[in-house]
Amino acid sequence: MPLTSAQLHSLLASVAAEIGKTRETGSGLTQALELIAEHLGATGGMILRAEDPTTLRLAAQIGDTWDEEQLPAAFMDITYAEVFRYHRATLVPPNAAGYPGGVIGAPLTVGERQIGGIFLIRGPERLPFDEEERDTLQLICLALAIQIESREESRRTSARRAELEAVHSSMVDGLLVVDVRGYISTFNETFKRVCQVPSYELYGLRWSHLIGPRAHPTIDAGQMMESFMDAMAGGEPFVTTGCPAYLKQPDGVDMPVTVGLAAIEENGKIMGGVINVRDATVEAQLERLKDDFIATVSHELKTPLTTISGFVELVRNHELPRTEVIPIFDLILDECRRLGRMITDLLDLSKIQSGLLSLHLEKFSVAKMVEQAVRPFRMRYRDTHTIKVEITPPSGTMVADRDRIVQILVNLVGNAVKYSPAGGEVTVKAQKLKSEWEFTVADQGMGIPEAALPRLFGRFFRVNEQQSSGSGLGLFITKSLVERHGGRISVTSQDGVGSTFLVRLPATTVEGAVGVEMLETGKSAGRRARGQ
């Protein structure tokens, strides 16, 4: 029996409700198919989705079904070909093409695109489908296809929105969107956090009230931002990145940032702008460190060069007795060594920062290694400082990069002597503790201020800029070498009493780690050198 207009409207409304009721389209399709089958007196049916013109997927199925493998080819040609090849409704009467039940089918199309098809079955005990019921199914399919597409588009939009919000919230940069007049319409959590302004105050606020133009003297940030506003107001495209500026803070201390500006264009019309705000505090600090480093290195390099050139010119222009020339040569040699240490520090710094610092492991006597490290200081400062060495046990050995361990002790002993008064004592101890060696270097110097301790092992840091020389890299490199061996370093200090540096290193550094290789020693090394 054909459906009345009221029944048809009721059915379409019910089908739409089922599609929109659940989050998953599949379960809604099954409920919708049951309603359609009930109203059209079908005993079974199915909905096929068209993934592409040649690939069909079963999306819903109820009641009587048919096995495609058991059906005559002629029947499949009539049903599937009509619906999916020619995109039109079909009616297959009972026993047609060898199938005993009646079938009607219709395509699910949106515009010119087919998204699937519906087939309904009526068993042989019932009256066959007629053309009016076929046409009714086609009408239902037109409405159902729109509902399916709308539901899935809504889900895709929600998913894209969720992805976009996830990206925005996880961004390390602040992001805000403004209208063509520069008023904030939306922003991400990062921007809200760094600007420290409540959300309700940000909405509708003009973004220029938060971001000031003060920046690098060679870049007119204010003019850049005015150009951005003029472009949006005039409906013109605009894109720029890396514009230095400052983000105003509630405490009055502006935060250095870099700003990216871009106009948002849609269908040829400028709808607003997007502003990317990146915290440049670290970059600003690194810039200051770089400037300080260049100034420090320039001074440290210039001082020994001035001394060397001055004494060379003195010896060149005056005939001096040997007793006066030898001390001058000693001073020149000291300044050359000073230059060499600074160059070595710079090369080590480069290797550490690039991850290219490698260790060459060998087994060696700890006592001999410590003696190698302190011998130059004993000779140079024999008249002014006492350097004591204690090794427990005296015959102990370790596996590590011998040259780098010597470098660690040289840096620590050099600092101890440097900051100790004449007549002071420097104590170097090495003690075996189970699977570790503990090295301590203690002095009787001025001590280190408590405020300086947290930054002591940082790059370019010097405790007293006025009284101490050096690049400020020694302790940074020392800490890096200790950690590269899998060890740790610490310091305790007391003003006017002195400082003690403690280094703990594994007795056997792990072979096979990145940048670590084992040196051959003894006869095997000799054979290798001879190519045997």
> pLDDT tens digits, residue range 53-70?
677 888 888 887 766 666
Tell me the pairing of strands 359-365 and 397-400.
antiparallel
429 near 393, Cβ under 8 Å? no
Highest mean pLDDT among 127-141, 205-219, 233-247: 127-141
Element (H, E) at 330: helix 322-354
Q: How far apart are CA 114 and CA 107, in angstroms?
A: 7
Residues spanned by CATH 1.10.287.130 within the chain? 284-352
Highest mean pLDDT among 453-457, 498-502, 513-517: 498-502
464 near 449, Cβ under 8 Å? no
Give the pLDDT score at 39. Answer: 86
CATH 2.40.50.100 fits 172-279, yes or no: no
276 near 260, Cβ under 8 Å? yes
Give the pLDDT score at 1. Answer: 55
Query: Among 5-19, 145-159, 311-325, whose mean pLDDT is lowest?
Result: 5-19
Residues spanned by CATH 3.30.565.10 within the chain? 357-524
Residues spanned by CATH 3.30.450.20 within the chain? 172-279
Residues of the chain with pLDDT > 70, as a percent, come to 79
pLDDT at 404 over 50: yes
The residue that leads in pLDDT, 387 or 194, is: 387
The residue that leads in pLDDT, 84 or 4, is: 84
Angle at 43 between CA 39 and CA 49, to 5 degrees: 80
120 near 104, Cβ under 8 Å? yes
Give the pLDDT score at 72. Answer: 63
Closest CA to 56 of 92, 76, 84: 84
Give the pLDDT score at 523. Answer: 40
> Quick one: pLDDT band at residue 169, thresholds 50, 70, 90?
low
> Quick one: pLDDT band at residue 21, thresholds 50, 70, 90?
low
Give the pLDDT score at 467. Answer: 47
pLDDT 10s digits, 449-469? 887 788 788 776 666 654 445
> Quick one: pLDDT band at residue 390, thresholds 50, 70, 90?
very high
CATH T-level topology, domain 284-352: Helix Hairpins (1.10.287)
Q: How far apart are CA 195 and CA 205, in angstroms?
A: 13
Q: Which residue has the tokens 């840091």?
A: 461
Closest CA to 208 of 183, 233, 185: 183
Closest CA to 147 of 46, 259, 31: 31
The residue that leads in pLDDT, 441 or 30, is: 441
Q: How far apart are CA 36 and CA 19, in angstroms?
A: 13
> Domain spanning 357-524 has what CATH number?
3.30.565.10
pLDDT at 438 over 90: yes
Residues spanned by CATH 3.30.450.40 within the chain? 5-163
366 near 514, Cβ under 8 Å? no
End-to-end alpha carbon distance in the chain: 101
Tell me the pairing of strands 516-518 and 498-506.
unpaired
> Quick one: pLDDT band at residue 528, thresholds 50, 70, 90?
very low
Instruction: Give, in words, the CATH class of 5-163.
Output: alpha beta
Q: Is 186 helix (H, G, I), strand (E, B) or coil?
A: strand
The residue that leads in pLDDT, 224 or 138, is: 138
Residues for the chain: how many in total? Answer: 532
> Quick one: pLDDT band at residue 23, thresholds 50, 70, 90?
low
